[in-house]
Structure 1
Amino acid sequence: MPSRTPDAGRRSETSRRAIYAAALGLVEETGYPKTTIEGIAARAGVGKQTIYRWWGSKADVLLEAFLDLGEQQAAGEAAPGIPDTGDLAADLKLVLRATVDNLLDPRFDGPARALSAEGLVDEKLGRAVVAKLLEPNFDLYVERLRSARDAGQLRPDLDPRIALELFVAPIAQRWLQRTAELSYGYTDTIVDYALHGIAPR
């Protein structure tokens, strides 16, 4: 006869998923400042203490939910990384266009902006955002740029960790400040400028 004892592990995972969805949904709908632990708990159908047992703040909830969202999106896709077709410019343009798609996706835009802003005033959160969200992506650029350098496609004294900022920093600034349109044409131009310079040839 099957046991009627509740599966605590399954119940906890169900609650965790509900909390993730509630946090992301509220930030997208009402904005980060108006999102509260109480609101997340109410929408998720859990007690407030359940959230505080797992996380220290709404920012901690949002960061974990955002990371989980990224993992779900990546599920079933090819192994993470920047393609290495031998054409560095084409490979970088491809991945930066995908970055634009993510940044303009409402599911990602609100939470990412909230985490970026909160991380500036909350040092602990800022370090967590860098370590868990940014550095893994930076490592992909470093690996691809190092490969291109070793293949003789880039100057031999290139520091890949510094060079990657030529590609990601302008996009982040334009996205955060909303100074102008974020488009494929813009990211393609960044790649061309970064790889070939802006002086006359």
Structure 2
Amino acid sequence: MKVMKFLVLVPFLTAGCANLQRSSSSGYGSSGVSYNDRSDRDAARDKSVRQTAYELGKDPNSLSEGDLQEIRDRQKVRELERTLSSKKEKEQYSKVLPWMKNDEEKASFLAIPSLEGRQAWINKHQIWDRSQAPHAEMKDLIETQDIAVGMPQDYVKKSWGDPLSVEVSGNPIYKNERWKYQCFSSSPEGYRKETRYVYFEGGRVVGWETE
């Protein structure tokens, strides 16, 4: 049995399984917090860095300058995500989230102050074209009914079909989810049933496991 291991940051509350052929964004730190002295501020900052490092799958005790920049980018995204107030804003962001390339792109989109401005950004960057034309690697994976880290949810469905169940972690708009599949795979003893879980963050695969 081949298992890919990964870090799950937020517990899933339920379990649930369609035949296949082959997280929460609550933010870090709170607004309106008052600190008594510098040590309190440093402690809060350190906790925030550690939490974000874990979210990104990094060891908080061994961070390079590049890692710290990724952490700052992710924290900026989380801060901007909390500014989404209307249902339309949240729906718009949820739809484009799986097609964003990185946190820098997410922050650029979220920093635009209006719904109309964000729609213009979507059109300018041809976001919907990304969903219609997967690059060569993803296309090959779909054709061989396989998946990979970074694959958007829509491509996983094209490769493996609809999941038997979907569990959501945190706010649904952020697409931190666990999908459950079941299939029959060949073995020296014949065919046996396998259960596979695929984990998504921001609508993209971050890992999976097989039971």
- In our comparison, the structure showing a higher alpha carbon Rg is 1
- Fold in common (TM above 0.5): no
Q: TM-score under structure 2 normalisation?
A: 0.26
Q: TM-score under structure 1 normalisation?
A: 0.27
- Where relative contact order (Cα < 8 A, 6+ residues apart) is larger, the structure is 2
Q: Which has the higher strand share?
A: 2
